[in-house]
Amino acid sequence: MRIICTLLEPTAGTVRVCGHDVTRDRRAIREQLGYLPQDFGAWRLHRVEEVLDTLAQLSGLRDAKHRQARIAEVLDQVGLSEVAHRKVKKLSGGMVRRLGVAQALVHEPKVLVVDEPTVGLDPEERIRFRQLMSGLGRDRTILLSTHIVADLGAGCREMALLDAGRIVFQGSPSELLRQATGRVFDVTVTMPEAEAIESRYEVVSSSVSGNQMTLRGVADGGQLPPSATVVAEPNLEESYIAFMAARGRTEVARQDTEDPGAAA
């Protein structure tokens, strides 16, 4: 991602963004591209609109009247109009992340590169950010990297899974869901039976009722547990675990969903 953003020069190969080469046409690429790094902090003692005004000037918006109009437009777009006069240090983590999106959008780029946008956000802010990305993706290309599978959601047209630095899957989310068909199951068993299932299968969730336990799990391609029923519509996270389990990477898959690992 840093190579695409012309922040790191490649040692081999070629990369082109909007027809421009990353090693020869850096200025042209930066005019077409907005970037939100994982650690966007801005200046904590400055007001939101001041931060955005400075970064807009650095992005090439020299005309003051046009710049102020554009700042007001993007602040409204990311839902920060009401806090434009607030200092950055008084913003929530989600608001700071949205300010990062605003600075990436202010010069109206064709491509938006977003690195780990929801790390550290509470569930409400994470949902709000996903909705924002889905809306922004209607009229521009967004390249988003995340370790949180649920972030991909309905707004993602194409995805890739990286494992040990290599692409092991590339396609639509629906294709990954299709590959998990018949491999995600629900089963209700006694406690001793549950322990046996947990030792054999990748368990996604569990609930207890009396002396019985209901488990939702993923098979790595073999038989399902006795009396298990197939889940007709597994979610994307379950499909990811099923994919990784089939590769013999169940420990990685479990870690990735709890403290995420290799989805992009």
Q: Would residue 168 count as lying in a domain?
A: no
| Residue 249 near residue 257, CB atoms below 8 Å | no
Q: Would residue 42 count as lying in a domain?
A: yes
Q: Would residue 114 count as lying in a domain?
A: yes
- Whether residue 22 sits in one domain with residue 135: yes
- Whether residue 75 sits in one domain with residue 137: yes
Q: Would residue 163 count as lying in a domain?
A: no
Q: Would residue 254 count as lying in a domain?
A: yes
**pLDDT grade for 154, boundaries at 50, 70 and 90:** low
**pLDDT grade for 33, boundaries at 50, 70 and 90:** very high
- Whether residue 95 sits in one domain with residue 183: no
- Rounded CA separation 222/246 (Å): 9
- Whether residue 103 sits in one domain with residue 26: yes
Domain end residue (candidates: 145, 165, 194) = 145
Supply the pLDDT for residue 249.
58
| Residue 6 near residue 29, CB atoms below 8 Å | yes
Q: Would residue 158 count as lying in a domain?
A: no
- Whether residue 208 sits in one domain with residue 129: no
- Whether residue 192 sits in one domain with residue 94: no
* pLDDT higher than 90, residue 139: no
Cα-based angle 6, 9, 15 (whole degrees, multiple of 5): 70
**pLDDT grade for 118, boundaries at 50, 70 and 90:** confident
**pLDDT grade for 24, boundaries at 50, 70 and 90:** very high
Percent of the chain with pLDDT over 90: 42
Supply the pLDDT for residue 259.
43
Q: Would residue 167 count as lying in a domain?
A: no
More confident residue, 256 or 226: 226
Mean pLDDT of the chain: 86
Out of 22-31, 133-142, 253-262, the most confident range is 22-31
Supply the pLDDT for residue 99.
92
- Whether residue 94 sits in one domain with residue 26: yes
- What the block records as the tokens of 198 is 């947990």
Domain end residue (candidates: 94, 129, 145) = 145
pLDDT, tens digit (0-9, with 9 covering 90-100), for 234-247: 988 899 988 988 88
- Whether residue 190 sits in one domain with residue 69: no
- Rounded CA separation 139/36 (Å): 18
- Whether residue 183 sits in one domain with residue 121: no
Range 47-50 contact pairs with CB under 8 angstroms and sequence separation of 24 or more? 47/84, 47/85, 47/86, 47/87, 47/88, 48/75, 48/80, 48/83, 48/84, 48/85, 48/86, 48/87, 48/88, 48/91, 48/99, 49/75, 49/84, 49/85
Q: Would residue 154 count as lying in a domain?
A: no
- For residue 54, give the CATH number of its domain: 3.40.50.300
Listed in sequence order, the DSSP H helices in 43-190 are 48-58, 64-77, 93-105, 123-136, 173-179
* pLDDT higher than 60, residue 183: yes
* pLDDT higher than 90, residue 128: no
- Whether residue 125 sits in one domain with residue 41: yes
What is the mean pLDDT of the segment spanning 90-110? 90
Structural domains in the chain (count): 2
- Whether residue 203 sits in one domain with residue 117: no
What is the mean pLDDT of the segment spanning 26-34? 91
What is the mean pLDDT of the segment spanning 60-65? 91
Domain span at 234: 177-258
* pLDDT higher than 80, residue 255: no
In this prediction the pTM is 0.75
- Whether residue 181 sits in one domain with residue 123: no
Domain end residue (candidates: 145, 160, 190) = 145
